Amino acid sequence: MKWYTEDWSEECKFSIAYDKHLHTEQTPFQKIDFYQGKEFGTFFTLDGLMMVNEKDEFIYHDMIVHPAMATNPNIKNVLIIGGGDGGTAREVLRYGFVENVVMAEIDERVFRLSQQYLPVTAAGVEEDPRMTLHFEDGLAYVKNAADKSFDLILVDSTDPISVGEGLFTTAFYEECHRVLTDDGILINQHESPYFAEYAENMKKAHHKIKAIFPITHVYQYHMPTYPSGHWLFGFASKSLSPLQIDEQQWQSYGLQTKYYNTDLHRGAFALPSYVREKLGHE
Amino acid sequence: MKWYTEDWSEECKFSIAYDKHLHTEQTPFQKIDFYQGKEFGTFFTLDGLMMVNEKDEFIYHDMIVHPAMATNPNIKNVLIIGGGDGGTAREVLRYGFVENVVMAEIDERVFRLSQQYLPVTAAGVEEDPRMTLHFEDGLAYVKNAADKSFDLILVDSTDPISVGEGLFTTAFYEECHRVLTDDGILINQHESPYFAEYAENMKKAHHKIKAIFPITHVYQYHMPTYPSGHWLFGFASKSLSPLQIDEQQWQSYGLQTKYYNTDLHRGAFALPSYVREKLGHE
């Protein structure tokens, strides 16, 4: 048996077995590796870090998309930054009232390889007439976008290293604020509270966003293949609180979701005391 | 660097570095190993499975104790089954109104070694005048206990293998029901929904308890060093619902907790859809 191993910290590592190393490639942006195992199915890594696997991608993609969609039932224009595997677009496109989805993914190879090896996330995305793909830097895309042109921005990026780094800056969050409508929502990577390095990035991201958006929250979910399994997204908005949602409205859409539900929505925003403290919350 | 490695499934493993293997011992019940590393501090395993480490024991011990204490503010007599490291007793003893705590731990060596190597959980427990230690089988202890003699039973056991097995049986849960007062609460190990073997045990435990107690819930928390990091406890009671708590009352105790808080209490009972489904919930 062969093992893919990821260092979660200097003193902790996580390993997944695979049968086949399906593909390896160094693009101008990062190293992409696709693997196939039994339990986790097909999975891929960027620069050696687990991104998506067939066993638990549903958790991540439910949680990046549905809390925002449940908070604002009038979302029509959506921008996805990154998200090259297609899973975030797949979930957004399930909402019939969404009219336009732009995906700005810096590395086209991630998307093409996902189409080839990971249809569970990528299939059908390019074909949807509401979808526009831009293979370019997300930060550059946002800088050139018109004021108030999106109702929702989903930052589906890597950690704040290499190509993901610019997506954790104040400059980027300010541009997001500018291009969002008055009821606009930004969902961004918020890393994890448990291991020191990730917790540091969590604190920095939250600090920067709090200085720009009037409403900011952090929410959590159980993502077993990400470091510590305790993973976070940031929720920032200009006017809407994710703590006040119309549960019946969301339920009326009739979407079957394996992780998300409206009870869990409320629960996800209730953070452990040590996480609150690190974020500077009461 | 030396590594302690635990198989989380056939295709997934988790490793923690240690500097010293402090102690190893085969007792009549199980193999006990104590290790010491930097990031996780001192930790011990039973039959090769991670039990307690200094980095995240606070999460487990907060979550096994405080949700029940917040649900019933009149808990006076507490029975801990297992819990040899002392951490569960430590948290219970923080409540000044608790009058008696019995700990029935089958393996005295776990407690003595924890006193020696893991004072963070074991120090002060034996010395507390409200504490009674019984080094005997938990199932046997409960069988001999009087009807309605405890307000709270906390099952702080290993997985349903070897010595822990009897603590996952209908016979055991029935005895717990008998010895609990009319407002009594049972908190028990509920394993994890993610890896198949653990999920199977989760389903079985829930199924058995549901047949005995009128009120049953399952709640979750982020425990990074347990398989998948998504870990569960069962909450069963004769009359009280954990969804209706007096938050102010619990807050009035002034307990500082690093993981638990009353917002998180509510959130912990809101399970992902795939977990609800496995448990047979709506």
pLDDT higher than threshold 60 for residue B70: yes
pTM: 0.96
Looking at residue B188, what is its pLDDT? 95
Q: What value does the mean pLDDT take over residues B122-128?
A: 98
**Domain holding A119: CATH number?**
3.40.50.150
Q: Report the chain A residue with the minimal C-alpha distance to residue B40.
A: A11
Residue A247 located in a structural domain: no
Does A21 reach chain B within 8 Å, measured CB to CB? Answer: no
Last residue of a domain, one of B30, B53, B76: B53
Looking at residue A8, what is its pLDDT? 97
Q: Looking at beta carbons, which residues of chain B come within 8 Å of A20?
A: none
Q: Mutual orientation of helices B196-210 and B170-179 as an angle, nearest 10°?
A: 40
Residue A248 located in a structural domain: no
Looking at residue B121, what is its pLDDT? 98
pLDDT higher than threshold 60 for residue A225: yes
Q: Are B17 and A11 in contact (CB under 8 A)?
A: yes
Looking at residue A129, what is its pLDDT? 98
- The fraction of chain B above a pLDDT of 70, given in percent, is 100
Residue A186 and residue A109 in one domain: yes
Last residue of a domain, one of B53, B72, B96: B53
Among positive and negative, which fits the CA dihedral A195, A201, A202, A204?
Answer: positive
Residue A138 annotated in ligand binding: yes
Does B147 reach chain A within 8 Å, measured CB to CB? Answer: no
Residue B105 and residue B131 in one domain: yes
Question: Cβ neighbours of residue B202 under 8 Å, at least 6 residues apart?
Answer: B190, B191, B192, B193, B218, B232, B278, B279
Does A269 reach chain B within 8 Å, measured CB to CB? Answer: yes
Mean pLDDT, chain A, as a whole number? 96
Looking at residue A1, what is its pLDDT? 86
Question: Which tens digits make up the pLDDT trace of B163-183?
Answer: 778 888 999 999 999 999 999
Residue B23 and residue B147 in one domain: no
Question: Which tens digits make up the pLDDT trace of B185-206?
Answer: 999 999 999 999 999 999 999 9
> Which range among B122-131, B143-152, B164-173 shows the weakest confidence by mean pLDDT?
B164-173
Question: Which tens digits make up the pLDDT trace of A40-75?
Answer: 999 999 999 999 999 999 999 999 999 999 999 999
Alpha-carbon gap, residue B24 to B9, rounded angstroms: 24
Last residue of a domain, one of B37, B53, B69: B53
Looking at residue B94, what is its pLDDT? 98
Does A267 reach chain B within 8 Å, measured CB to CB? Answer: yes
**pLDDT confidence of A282, banded at 50, 70, 90?**
low
Residue A226 and residue A86 in one domain: yes
Alpha-carbon gap, residue A270 to A105, rounded angstroms: 31
Residue A143 and residue A108 in one domain: yes
Residue of B38, B230, B263 lying closest to A11 (CB–CB): B38
Question: Cβ neighbours of residue B171 under 8 Å, at least 6 residues apart?
Answer: B139
pLDDT higher than threshold 80 for residue A212: yes
Residue A29 and residue A74 in one domain: no
Q: Looking at beta carbons, which residues of chain A come within 8 Å of B38?
A: 11
Residue A206 and residue A115 in one domain: yes
What is the H or E stretch that residue A212 is in?
none
Catalogue the E-assigned strands of A10-93. Answer: 12-18, 20-26, 31-36, 42-46, 49-53, 77-82
- Tell me, yes or no, if A156 is annotated catalytic: yes
Mean pLDDT, chain B, as a whole number? 96
Domain count, chain B: 2
Alpha-carbon gap, residue B46 to A112, rounded angstroms: 47
Residue B30 and residue B97 in one domain: no
What distances in angstroms separate CA B88 from CA A63, A122, B91, B105, one per listed residue? 33, 46, 5, 12
Residue-by-residue DSSP string for A165-195: GGGGSHHHHHHHHHHEEEEEEEEEE---SSS
Q: How close is the nearest chain B Cα to the Cα of A67, in Å? A: 13
Residue A266 located in a structural domain: yes
Residue A252 located in a structural domain: no
**pLDDT confidence of B75, banded at 50, 70, 90?**
very high
Domain range for B137 is 57-242+252-279
Looking at residue B282, what is its pLDDT? 57
Residue B33 and residue B146 in one domain: no
C-alpha angle with apex A50: A278 to A20, nearest 5 degrees? 165
pLDDT, greater one: A1 or B20: B20
Residue A47 located in a structural domain: yes
**pLDDT confidence of A236, banded at 50, 70, 90?**
very high
Q: How close is the nearest chain B Cα to the Cα of A274, in Å? A: 5
Residue B160 located in a structural domain: yes
Residue B172 and residue B99 in one domain: yes
Residue A68 located in a structural domain: yes
Q: What value does the mean pLDDT take over residues A242-261?
A: 98
Residue B247 located in a structural domain: no
Question: Which tens digits make up the pLDDT trace of B220-278?
Answer: 999 999 999 999 999 999 999 999 999 999 999 999 999 999 999 999 999 999 999 99
- The fraction of chain A above a pLDDT of 90, given in percent, is 95
Residue B45 and residue B144 in one domain: no
Question: Which tens digits make up the pLDDT trace of A70-118?
Answer: 999 999 999 999 999 999 999 999 999 999 999 999 999 999 999 999 9
pLDDT higher than threshold 90 for residue A18: yes
Residue A228 and residue A135 in one domain: yes
Say if the Cβ atoms of B11 and A37 lie within 8 Å: yes
**Domain holding A30: CATH number?**
2.30.140.10
